[in-house]
Amino acid sequence: MLQVFEAAAGWSSVRERLVRRRIANRDLASLDEAVEFAVRWHADQTRPAGEPYVEHLLEVVCVLVEAVGTTDIDVLRAAVLHDVVEDTECLLENVRERFGDRVAVLVDWVTKPVPSEGQTGEEARAAYLTRLRTAPPDALLVKLADRLSNVQRLDTHPRPEKRRSYYLETVHSIVPLTQSHPWFRQWYADWRDAFGHVAVDNPDACSQ
C-alpha cells in the first residue's frame, strides 16, 4: 500500500511529530522561524485541489524526517522554503539574509527559473529538469520529497490533462533521480503502479 504523508493538522501537529523524532529544540526553533517566514510569503495561496499551500511544505518536511530520517536543519528549512522564491515575490537574497547561504543554495537548486529571453516556458522547464541531474545530494533530497508530496494524491488534481502530463514527467525526469536513494526508489515504484491509470485518463491527449 502506498505510504501517504499528511500535514493537514498544521505546523503544531507536525512539530509534535518532530519532537518524537528527537529533533533538537534549537533546531525546532529554527524551523519555527522558517515556517513563519513561508506562511507569511505564501499567504492565502492554495494547492490545485484547494488545500492551503503550507500543507505541501509541511508534507515535504514529514517525508524527509519520517521516511528518510533527515535531521539536517538546513535541509529541513530549505524544504519549508523551497517554493518561496518560485511562487511568491520573495527574492533569493531575502532567503539568504534570513537563513544563510547554504539554505539559499538549496532553495535555488529546486527553484524553476523564469524563462530567459527567447526561451519558452517548456524549454525553461526542460532545462531545469535536466539540471537536477547534477544537483548536490541535499538538494536532490528536497526535490524528491517535494515531488512526492505533489504526486502522492495526483488523482485529486482537477485537470485530467495535467494529471497525465505530470505523471509522465515524473516517470521520465524524477524517477531516474531516485537510483541512489533506496527508500525513494521503492516509493516511486509503488507510486507508478498505483497511479499508472492517470496516464490514459485523457485518451485525446495521447494524440496531441
Q: Give domain 11-206's CATH superfamily.
A: Hypothetical protein af1432 (1.10.3210.10)
Q: Which of 16, 86, 93, 101 is catalytic?
A: 86
3-state secondary structure of 52: strand
pLDDT in tens, 81-110: 999 999 999 999 999 999 999 999 999 999
Residue 16 has pLDDT above 80, yes or no: yes
β-bridge partners, 52: 46
Question: What crossing angle do the helices spanning 53-62 and 25-42 adopt, rounded to 10°?
Answer: 150
Q: Which of 27, 51, 72, 87 is catalytic?
A: 87
Q: What percent of the chain has pLDDT over 70?
A: 96
The Cα–Cα gap between 138 and 106 comes to 7
- The reported pLDDT for the residue numbered 28 is 97
31: burial class by Cβ within 10 Å (0-12, 13-18, 19+)? buried
Rg of the chain on CA atoms, in Å: 17
Name which of 208, 184, 174 is nearest 63 in CA terms. Answer: 184
Residue 201 has pLDDT above 80, yes or no: no
Least confident piece of the model among 98-112, 113-127, 177-191: 113-127
The model scores a pTM over 0.75:
yes
Task: Verify whether residue 86 is a known catalytic residue.
Answer: yes
Task: Verify whether residue 161 is a known catalytic residue.
Answer: no
